[in-house]
Amino acid sequence: GNSVTQMEGPVTLSEEAFLTINCTYTATGYPSLFWYVQYPGEGLQLLLKATKADDKGSNKGFEATYRKETTSFHLEKGSVQVSDSAVYFCALRTNSGGSNYKLTFGKGTLLTVNP
Amino acid sequence: DTGVSQDPRHKITKRGQNVTFRCDPISEHNRLYWYRQTLGQGPEFLTYFQNEAQLEKSRLLSDRFSAERPKGSFSTLEIQRTEQGDSAMYLCASSFGQQETQYFGPGTRLLVL
């Protein structure tokens, strides 16, 4: 079945530090990959996505590249801010066959950025 | 676009009671999804509607759980005879197409005492 494994947290960084949150996946076929973010007290928001190999998703200074050869979709940001403190979820959705709509999520990584 | 809304945001109930949650999707979205998120875990898929038709139910959804979307607009999720293991955040999401981005509501946090 499909699964997503992401780096366990919590991750604590100082403002302006470089961020990497690792995500690897197992899936049949060629899934679409997503990063969702959950700010304190809010719902899940789509941060970025990539739908095919070598695609790079980017938003708000965050980037992630779909690496088929390593089945990975690591999230990076060059300089984090206090406002980036949140829980980050990696997710996939298969694009063929049955059930090609449900999202499969990782466990989430809590990021805390200190001033 | 007012986003996906869920009601209530919090629910505390005693074991054995029935609870019902409501989800209002983004108005033009014909796909609606329910997920459950327990502490320290990512959301897990529960069920999916295309318009008013319920097309899939996860095996996580026991017979005590029922979901409806009577007119293809809002949806309700009912849990009968609640158990302490039902304590979780229940998330609703909607999308316009099957392969389109799913937009999530703020969730309903359920605590069963």
Q: Looking at residue A29, what DSSP letter applies?
A: S
Strand order in B65-68's β-sheet? Answer: B5-7, B19-24, B75-79, B65-68
Confidence of residue A64 (pLDDT cuts 50, 70, 90): very high
| Residues in chain B within 8 Å Cβ distance of A89 | 42-43
Closest-CA residue to B37 (of B110, B113, B112): B110
Q: Quote the tokens at residue A27.
A: 């899936």
Residue A13 pLDDT greater than 80, yes or no: yes
| Residues in chain B within 8 Å Cβ distance of A100 | 98-99
Within the 15-34 window of chain B, which residues sit less than 8 Å (CB to CB) from chain A?
A: 31, 33
pLDDT of residue A96: 65
Measured between CA atoms, the residue of chain B closest to residue A93 is B99
> Is there a contact between B23 and B74 (Cβ–Cβ < 8 Å)?
yes
> Is there a contact between B33 and B51 (Cβ–Cβ < 8 Å)?
no
Per-residue pLDDT of A29-53, as tens digits, reads 789 999 999 998 888 999 999 999 9
Measured between CA atoms, the residue of chain A closest to residue B101 is A46
Task: Determine the average pLDDT of the residues in A83-107.
Answer: 87
End-to-end CA distance of chain B: 36
Per-residue pLDDT of B62-74, as tens digits, reads 899 999 999 889 9
**Cα–Cα distances in angstroms (integers) from residue A69 to residues A24, A65, A90, in the given order:** 11, 12, 18
SS3 B69: coil
| Residues in chain A within 8 Å Cβ distance of B59 | none
Residue A20's CB: how many other CB atoms inside 10 A? Answer: 11
Task: Determine the average pLDDT of the residues in A54-58.
Answer: 96
CB contact under 8 A, A107 and B40: yes
CB contact under 8 A, B48 and A95: no
Residue B1 pLDDT greater than 60, yes or no: no
